[in-house]
Amino acid sequence: MKIVICGSMYFAKEMLEVKAQLEEMGHFVFVPSDIDDCVKNPELSMDMKHCLRTNVQKECFDKVAESDAILVLNYKRNGVKGYVGGATLMEIGIAQCLDKKILLYPPPKIEDLRYSLEIQLAKPRILNGDLDLIKNESRKI
């Protein structure tokens, strides 16, 4: 299965770890092209010049269109369990619009994240951190 890993670039290191695990399971995995830079400096994801120069947002949207599924790595950030930022929310919306599978680590709670309702309406498959559950999703494609 072709999977795009989405999430805050503050989780870039974890994205690379999950990418390796998924590839060991036989999946083809996309991550943002600036991931190595963001491992070194997560603040780059908030730098307008960097984002415009790399065009990483558009690149990620294109990868969602090419994929079978997105995997949202939404760990705890800024005191929010299941944090999802604006760019990731847009990727979820694109995936929903294109009828892609949406795989989510933990579901955010409405009291923690204002737009958790919109995320829940996208009907993600909740993994609760268990990548082995993706095997069942692969069979459904």
Please give the residue that has the higher pLDDT: either 137 or 62. Answer: 62
Token pair for 135: 């095997």
119, with CB counted inside 10 A (0-12, 13-18, 19+), is: buried
- CB–CB of 77/23 below 8 Å? no
- What's the mean pLDDT when you consider all of the chain? 88
Higher pLDDT, 42 or 121: 121
Residues in a beta bridge with 77: 80
Domains and CATH numbers, the chain: 2-134 (3.40.50)
At 140 the pLDDT is 56
pLDDT digits (tens, 9 = 90+) for 114-134: 888 899 889 999 998 899 998
What's the residue count for the chain?
Answer: 141
What pLDDT score was predicted for residue 61? Answer: 95
| pTM of the shown model | 0.89
Model confidence pLDDT, tens digit, residues 56-90: 889 999 999 999 999 999 998 888 888 898 899 99
Whether residue 36 has pLDDT greater than 60: yes
